[in-house]
Structure 1
């Protein structure tokens, strides 16, 4: 049994219901869309966010998550899925987790429309919930994610090499969705403002750790579910390289590295040089330390809640996010 199966055991039935409902809301008359949805289900990972929603709702409720939390998890995962499709088009990615992307199987036009179809399905789901607080959160997620992605491209273009800027961007482009999952799970159980805020913070911390781990993957030459070196090819300077650059002593080396980053397109030779530099100057170790700081803080907040199978699984989920290899 895989680690994620053990983690989701307290909400196993919930996860099954989630998958059924996810497929149902995406039912379509289009053969292309039906094929795309089938392929998406095989390439979008372990569904960490829906599991997070279920476990938080179960912990707060002291039992099975309410049905409404399944509805909420579905619409949040729809938003995430739509952004993945659009990201693959923008990044010109050919594979995701070893599977061909939709823009390769079809073309960019069709892939964008498929992402829009899924995003529209999420908005329908949000309205069907009839909860204005949830609708407000969902309505703001797309804006935050999009702005975060645009800011990342801006930073790459302008070589804005600041750790503070990096954290701010990944908070906006990734952590906001994790935070929304946690907050909406609390809303669905009727939790008070204190719990909403605390669990929103837990979600944000886990999202920050999740993105840093993703960024670390980019520095290794192995199949971890996305093309390695892809961020560097786009000029995106993530935490491992940011830290390594901060250790540069000589002006000549700094000039050389900045010149490599400013090239468009960045050559494979430059990608290799920058990757090796990040690895040899402690970039991965530093990024992992920061990642674990976020995990530890999230677990400290979770430990404020009474012991239960749900809390135990949430703590294990935090560790999984920090240690995952895909």
Structure 2
């Protein structure tokens, strides 16, 4: 299963969306426009707008409001990625040079700010105050999650409970917002909007766990797995593995973590302790719960694609 198949029911909508997105974030400022065009040419998988359109179709009819929801989500997501690269001092994004690497942190922060302000402007222009409420909450949670991760990474003190709190805020909150805004755009009822909120939270957590596993499976995913080690980001496979050993061994591994040249030893340790298998198990549990939510909706091509998107999330290699 690939994204082309998943996009099938919304292929026209996604093509139209890309044109509308470009128009929405263009600027008369030459530097901003250059950076924006660089971003658009390396747009990634665009899972989040796909999720908005599929959620809208699942709950009713895709409308102009759905396009605006997808654009707002993508603008917000792009802005946060730019800011993340500044925070992490990352030179690569999706296998290409990051904005931070090419234009340095000052321009990166300001372009991220431009995108955030453009999203707010679009919301106000179209009276999309429900969207604005959902997005504001997502930004708050994402910021809180990032700050918690930064704080905990310094002390390398993250247990499983804290880990899930971080990924619910940093990653799953935006996935959930995609599903909620898609449902709102099709005038769905409160019950179904609540179901979509929970579905997005489950999908987002499964997505992040799969990302965590990449660093222990391959260096060639295009993901910043090596940078995660450099930043001492403790992932679920490592959290579980550290919980299985005594203090002496734990101290040894943490020492390796602080010296990213010893990455191979960390990877071998995680594999030996069953960290990858454990993460796979939790990811599958989250996916099963998400499947059970989709079963509450009638059959449709949108539902089929959301099921396939779940399967893609836990099996993807990038």
- Give TM-score scaled by structure 1 length: 0.93
Equivalent residue, structure 2, for 1:308? 300
How do residues 167-206 of structure 1 correspond to structure 2 at under 5 angstroms? 167-206=164-203
The counterpart of 2:249, out of the listed 253, 257, 264, is 253
Q: Distance in 1 between matches of 2:126 and 2:313?
A: 29
Equivalent residue, structure 1, for 2:271? 279
Equivalent residue, structure 1, for 2:260? 268
Q: Return structure 1 stretches of 4+ with deviation > 4 angstroms.
A: none
Query: SS state of the match for residue 297, structure 2?
Result: coil
Q: Distance in 1 between matches of 2:135 and 2:250?
A: 43
Q: Distance in 1 between matches of 2:248 and 2:187?
A: 59
Equivalent residue, structure 1, for 2:59? 60
Query: SS state of the match for residue 229, structure 1?
Result: helix
1:16 aligns with 2:15: yes
Equivalent residue, structure 2, for 1:99? 96
Query: SS state of the match for residue 223, structure 2?
Result: coil
Paired residues of 1:7 and 1:313 also in contact (CA < 8 A): yes
Instruction: Compute the displacement of 1:19 (Å).
Output: 0.5
Q: Distance in 2 between matches of 1:6 and 1:92?
A: 35
Paired residues of 1:43 and 1:98 also in contact (CA < 8 A): no
Equivalent residue, structure 1, for 2:135? 138
Q: Judging changes above 3 Å, is the alpha-carbon distance between structure 1 residues 4 and 324 closer, same or farther for their aligned structure 2 residues? A: same
Q: Distance in 2 between matches of 1:77 and 1:236?
A: 25
Q: Judging changes above 3 Å, is the alpha-carbon distance between structure 1 residues 214 and 42 closer, same or farther for their aligned structure 2 residues? A: farther
Instruction: Compute the displacement of 1:138 (Å).
Output: 1.6
The counterpart of 2:156, out of the listed 155, 159, 173, is 159
Which digits, 9 at most, give the CA deviation of each residue in 1:21-77, with x for residues without a partner? 11001111223222222221233321111111111111111xx51111110110011
Equivalent residue, structure 2, for 1:128? 125
Q: Distance in 2 between matches of 1:91 and 1:186?
A: 34
The counterpart of 1:216, out of the listed 182, 204, 213, is 213
Instruction: Compute the displacement of 1:283 (Å).
Output: 1.1
The counterpart of 1:227, out of the listed 221, 224, 228, is 224
Paired residues of 1:174 and 1:208 also in contact (CA < 8 A): yes
Equivalent residue, structure 2, for 1:321? 313
Q: Distance in 2 between matches of 1:205 and 1:147?
A: 19
Query: SS state of the match for residue 225, structure 2?
Result: coil
Paired residues of 1:220 and 1:228 also in contact (CA < 8 A): no
Paired residues of 1:233 and 1:271 also in contact (CA < 8 A): no
Q: Judging changes above 3 Å, is the alpha-carbon distance between structure 1 residues 223 and 32 closer, same or farther for their aligned structure 2 residues? A: farther
Paired residues of 2:213 and 2:276 also in contact (CA < 8 A): yes
Query: SS state of the match for residue 191, structure 1?
Result: coil
1:113 aligns with 2:115: no
Q: Distance in 2 between matches of 1:12 and 1:172?
A: 30
Q: Distance in 2 between matches of 1:226 and 1:199?
A: 28
Paired residues of 1:43 and 1:96 also in contact (CA < 8 A): no
Structure 1 gaps of 5+ residues are: none
Query: SS state of the match for residue 197, structure 1?
Result: helix
Paired residues of 1:179 and 1:202 also in contact (CA < 8 A): yes
Equivalent residue, structure 1, for 2:74? 77
Q: Distance in 1 between matches of 2:78 and 2:272?
A: 35
Instruction: Compute the displacement of 1:215 (Å).
Output: 1.4
Instruction: Compute the displacement of 1:232 (Å).
Output: 2.2
Q: Distance in 1 between matches of 2:274 and 2:41?
A: 35
